[in-house]
């Protein structure tokens, strides 16, 4: 997890230099509506929330998945942030 924290710190300093345009968000499963099942720690939800607060225009968020990872439902709560697009193989 130290690597992830290091990436987040570098990325947040990128916001000061003009911001991020795109964030590829990992996930174990996605819905077509953009709901995402991560690993349960909320790292990306916190990061994306910071992006939205720091930048005037939030970055586009994309989840990359195999078709088997696209499911009709994933459990979510109020702090989960949806991705804008889900790209998957057919």
- β-bridge mates for residue 25, sequence order: 63
Q: How many domains would you assign to the chain?
A: 1
Of 85, 1, 72, 13, nearest to 42 by C-alpha is: 1
> What was the pLDDT predicted at 6?
43
> What was the pLDDT predicted at 1?
31
Contacts (Cβ under 8 Å, ≥6 apart) of 29: 36, 37, 65, 69, 70, 71, 74
> What was the pLDDT predicted at 53?
84
The CATH number of the domain holding residue 84 is 3.40.50.10420
Q: pTM for the whole thing? A: 0.76
Helix (H) or strand (E) holding 16, with range, is helix 2-16
pLDDT tens profile 21-32:
888 999 999 999
Q: How far is CA 76 from the centre of its chain?
A: 14
> What was the pLDDT predicted at 71?
97
> What was the pLDDT predicted at 69?
96
> What was the pLDDT predicted at 68?
95
Domain that includes residue 52, residue range = 2-88
Stretches where the chain sits below pLDDT 50 are 1-7
């Amino acid at each position: 997890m130290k690597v992830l924290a290091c990436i987040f710190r570098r990325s947040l300093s990128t916001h000061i230099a003009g911001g991020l345009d795109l964030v590829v968000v990992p996930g174990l499963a996605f819905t077509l509506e953009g709901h995402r099942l991560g690993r349960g720690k909320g790292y990306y939800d916190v990061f994306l929330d910071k992006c939205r607060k720091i930048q005037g225009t939030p970055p586009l968020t994309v989840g990359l998945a195999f078709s088997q990872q696209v499911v009709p439902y994933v459990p979510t709560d109020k702090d989960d942030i949806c991705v804008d697009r889900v790209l998957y193989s057919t």
